[in-house]
Amino acid sequence: MAKTHFGFQQVDETEKASQVAGVFHSVASKYDLMNDFMSFGLHRIWKAFTIGAANVFAGQRILDIAGGTGDLAFALSKKVGLTGEVWLSDINSSMLTVGRDRLIDQGSLLPCVQLDAENIPFPGSYFDLVTVSFGLRNMTHKEIALKEMCRVTRPGGKTMILEFSKPVQILQPIYDWYSFKVLPWLGKQVAQDAASYQYLAESIRMHPDQEVLKQMMLDVGFDQVEVHRMSGGIVALHMAYKY
Ligand SMILES: C[S@@+](CC[C@H](N)C(=O)[O-])C[C@H]1O[C@@H](n2cnc3c(N)ncnc32)[C@H](O)[C@@H]1O
């Protein structure tokens, strides 16, 4: 049986998705609160940068994958207007339910679909833009998911991946201390769940760095990839263009 990683643990490939599902079923109800606590609100700036860089205009079709509680989908829906189409999607029903309810509370009736990024149920070249924020590192077969994103992106369109990445060397000690000491403690205090936040820290360490991810995106068929490092490389935005 092929193995993969779930945080620092080696698990059977067939088990990773259900273990990741367990994490997100557990954190869904406190996800937004924890995001603000853990990042000191910085995730809002990282997402705002992503929305700006997307350069979206009215009438475009967008798929937000691993969209969770809907931050990107909601902001993007404002840009495409009534003639556009933004889909909020996620593999996890608990996260998607929180996201859908939040969109409704904000007066937004976007289509919401439960889907696995490794098998996207849309025709090829359907979307002007595909986005994934903080989702890719949780996927079992990242190459397959990236290939699927490339397939559903139309020629002339792009896929944007916002994800934790590798910070510059000088930040590493404090980042490690924060990730492995503070995050699980915060998870325990706020969400009564230290283990999920230990997984968060470990999954970030196992995720490919900026250059490796860029190459992976080129390898699945994108023609050009721009990388924007944010907060000293703690987060990176990969913008992959399909010609
Ligand atoms: C950290 S949350 C990110 C949520 C949101 N995009 C954000 O930035 O706040 C990661 C999400 O990835 C989703 N996910 C994990 N594996 C997935 C897959 N194979 N396909 C689609 N979504 C997946 C999880 O269910 C979870 O909602």
> Would the CB of 149 count as within 6 Å of ligand 1?
no
Tell me, in angstroms, the distance from the centre of ligand 1 to residue 169's CA: 28
Tell me, in angstroms, the distance from the centre of ligand 1 to residue 5's CA: 17
* Other CB atoms within 10 A of residue 107 CB: 7
> Would the CB of 68 count as within 6 Å of ligand 1?
yes
Instruction: State which amino acid sits at residue 20.
Output: V
* Other CB atoms within 10 A of residue 112 CB: 20
Answer yes or no: is pLDDT of 9 > 90: no
**Model confidence at 1, in pLDDT bands (50, 70, 90)?**
confident
Using CA atoms, how far residue 7 sits from 39, 185, 187, 202, in Å, is: 20, 17, 16, 4
DSSP 136: G
What is the Cα–Cα distance from 227 to 161, expressed in whole angstroms? 10
**Ligand 1 atom 10, closest CA:** 135
Q: Which domain holds residue 63?
A: 3-241
Answer yes or no: is pLDDT of 45 > 80: yes
> Would the CB of 76 count as within 6 Å of ligand 1?
no
Instruction: State which amino acid sits at residue 38.
Output: M
CATH code: domain of residue 90: 3.40.50.150
> Would the CB of 67 count as within 6 Å of ligand 1?
yes
> Would the CB of 95 count as within 6 Å of ligand 1?
yes
What percent of the chain is predicted at pLDDT more than 90? 94
Answer yes or no: is pLDDT of 14 > 90: no
Nearest CA to 203 out of 179, 227, 182 is that of: 179
**Averaged pLDDT for residues 36-50:** 96
Answer yes or no: is pLDDT of 220 > 90: yes
Task: Read off the pLDDT of residues 157-208 as tens digits, 9 standing for 90 and up.
Answer: 999 999 999 999 999 999 999 999 999 999 999 889 999 999 999 999 999 9
Task: Read off the pLDDT of residues 87-140 as tens digits, 9 standing for 90 and up.
Answer: 999 999 999 999 999 999 999 999 999 999 999 999 999 999 999 999 999 999
What is the Cα–Cα distance from 116 to 28, expressed in whole angstroms? 17
Instruction: Give the number of domains in the chain.
Output: 1
> Would the CB of 6 count as within 6 Å of ligand 1?
no
What is the Cα–Cα distance from 209 to 3, expressed in whole angstroms? 21
Q: Is 40 exposed, middle or buried, given 0-12, 13-18 or 19+ CB atoms closer than 10 A?
A: exposed
What is the Cα–Cα distance from 228 to 243, expressed in whole angstroms? 20
Tell me, in angstroms, the distance from the centre of ligand 1 to residue 89's CA: 9
Q: Is the dihedral of CA 123, 138, 69, 163 positive or negative?
A: negative
Answer yes or no: is pLDDT of 144 > 90: yes
